[in-house]
Amino acid sequence: MKYPVALKRTEEGYSVSCPGLPGCWSQGATEEEALANIRDAIREYVQVAKQLAGEQNLREVEIPA
């Protein structure tokens, strides 16, 4: 899966968020670290969302670019 992210340089390094997943953000000292951290945050966000959905009839759809 691919998610667009917004990367912003800050005084401490980089801040990064995923606009498609409200509240999903991270940071890092370098751009590479911030991107690695947002990958982990997205993975955890999606995992928790699936757990919260419980036994509902979940489906995944692919959106071609």
What are the DSSP calls for 35-63, one per residue?
A: HHHHHHHHHHHHHHHHHHHTTS-------
Q: Which among 6, 50, 48, 52 has a CA at the least distance from the CA of 31?
A: 6
pTM for the predicted model, two decimal places: 0.82
pLDDT tier, 44 (very low <50, low <70, confident <90, very high otherwise): very high
Compute the average pLDDT of residues 24-50. Answer: 96
Q: Pick the residue with more confidence: 5 or 49? A: 5
Please write the tens of the pLDDT for every residue from 4-36. Answer: 999 999 999 999 999 999 999 999 999 999 999
The answer, yes or no, to whether residue 58 has pLDDT greater than 90, is no
Cα torsion 25, 5, 12, 34: sign:
positive
The answer, yes or no, to whether residue 56 has pLDDT greater than 90, is no
